[in-house]
Amino acid sequence: AQKVTQAQTEISVVEKEDVTLDCVYETRDTTYYLFWYKQPPSGELVFLIRRNSFDEQNEISGRYSWNFQKSTSSFNFTITASQVVDSAVYFCALSERIIQGAQKLVFGQGTRLTINP
């Protein structure tokens, strides 16, 4: 069965610090997709990134970067020079195809990140 573990329940840092959110996954599929979503207090899940299992290149988008390591089944997310607006709950997710055209997302329990001014 698919499983996603986010061991850090809550993280609190001071603004401008770098912070890394950990994500470890389990799957028997050879082809799969990993995601990160951000959930601000408003409740909406905001898509941040999708990574497929064949692409282990790290990705950087502004202050955000992602480190995908298949050997350790990890897909970690780093925020550089954190800002108060980064405060949210962050979810890592793994996709499981149901049928052609639809997938099921298996979510981790989320990491609540608080950036203090």
Among residues 31, 72, 83, 116, the one that binds another protein under rule CB under 8 A: 31
Tell me which stretch binds another protein (CB under 8 A): 14-22, 45-53, 61-69, 70-78.
Answer: 45-53
Give the total of residues touching another protein (CB under 8 A).
26
How would you label 31-70 residue by residue, b for 16+ Cβ within 10 Å and e otherwise?
Answer: ebbbbbbbeeeeeebeebbebebeeeeeeeeeebbbbbee
Using the rule CB under 8 A, give the single segment among 19-27, 47-55, 63-71, 77-85 that binds another protein.
47-55
Which DSSP symbol is given to 44? Answer: P
- Please report, as residue ranges, which positions from 52 to 81 form the binding site for another protein (by CB under 8 A): 52
Longest Cα–Cα distance in the chain: 46
> Is residue 8 a contact point for another protein (CB under 8 A)?
no
